[in-house]
Amino acid sequence: MQEREKKQMMGMMLSLFRHKSFVLPSLILNLFLNLTVLTTTTYALPRSLTPFQKRNLATLSSIYDLTVFPNQLPILIHGPNAVPAGLFNNDASGRVNPVGNFSGFEDSIEYFFALSPIAQQGVRSVVISKAEIVEFTSSCPEVAASVVYLETKVVNPGGQDDGKQLSTLKQVAFWRFDDCGAVLKYDAWIPNLNTWLEVNNGFSISDPSQQARSIEGLCAVTQQKCMGADSQWTDIDHCVTSLSQKPYGTYDEAWGDNIVCRTIHLVLTTVRPDVHCPHVGPSGGGKCVDYPYQLEYFTDQAVFGDPQGQTFQCT
């Protein structure tokens, strides 16, 4: 499909999407599903690859392709059943610094796909527009390492900056695959996430006025997303008063009993409110809590189930 045709299809989808809520008609959903043939992930790897290297690279390319908007929308709408078979093992687990540890299939796909930004209706949004695997190595069928550049752009239909290219986000990762080539374990790092957000948003995370607005917005959305049995606060004022007493945090250190951690888990309340609403509440629900540094980053055996230093070694 030619580039012009891709842009026309994208424009039509965005136009339709702006006028719909969370329930999309089958026509729009089919358009999103058809995007799977428009592979957005590229890789600058000219050398020839062995069969298992091709398999591992294809798995990673497929995973990162689903972080590109709007490719992740079917997963957000339909949940785990919409994840293509063969990408993640049912027992997949891993660590993504600076976000946290993830155990099991649903935790893993939520990090990779539910946290990937989407265009919000009527709001200037930043989305991932392209994922390029710039470095890849795999010396055996079960292990690989990669570096991915995630290019971002503005989605702001009708705005002057619609389609504007923004800064690039980087992810470095080690991977372990099962016998069928699905990801079983992963250890990834996103450097300079805080700076990336500040550059794209045009303000400093440490600005007190911005922090206050962020807390107010966090509390307002929490009251909308977490209701009934999942409710965390008596009202918005209760939430704002309580959270204003906590450290704001930084996106380069997102784990902890802080506001930054709660903003991340607030996104996930859309897909599993019963699981993630406690994380944005007063106690942090076992996720947005303060951990000793050693427990956050060096409990490899607890995360991967292997002695330290053996998870990403060829056997």
pLDDT in tens, 129-155: 999 999 999 999 999 999 999 999 999
CATH topology of domain 3-201: Nuclear Transport Factor 2; Chain: A, (3.10.450)
Q: Tell me what pLDDT residue 25 has.
A: 31
Per-residue burial over 185-213, b if 16 or more Cβ lie within 10 Å, else e, is bbbbebeebbebbbeeeeeebeeeeebee
* Higher pLDDT pick, 23 / 251: 251
Amino acid at site 259: I
pTM value? 0.83
187 neighbors 173 (Cβ within 8 angstroms): yes
pLDDT at 44: 54
Q: What is the pLDDT of residues 67-110, one digit of tens each?
A: 999 999 999 999 999 999 999 999 999 999 999 999 999 999 99
pLDDT for residue 46 is more than 70: no
Are 107 and 130 a contacting pair, CB within 8 Å? Answer: no
- In this model, does residue 2 exceed pLDDT 70? no
The token pair at 304 is 């991967």
Residue 183's nearest CA partner among 116, 84, 81 is 84
249: alpha, beta or left? (left if phi > 0; alpha if psi -120 to 50):
left
CA distance 107 to 227: 22
pLDDT in tens, 47-73: 789 999 999 999 999 999 999 999 999
**Res 201: pLDDT:** 82
- What residues form DSSP beta bridges with 137? 145
Domain residue ranges of the chain, discontinuous segments joined by +: 3-201, 208-294
Q: Where would I find the beta strands (DSSP E) of the chain?
A: 42-43, 88-97, 100-103, 125-140, 143-155, 165-177, 183-189
> Minimum mean pLDDT among 114-118, 151-155, 294-298: which range?
294-298
The larger pLDDT score, comparing residue 46 to residue 47, is at 47
Residue-wise pLDDT for 196-209, tens only, equals 999 888 889 999 99
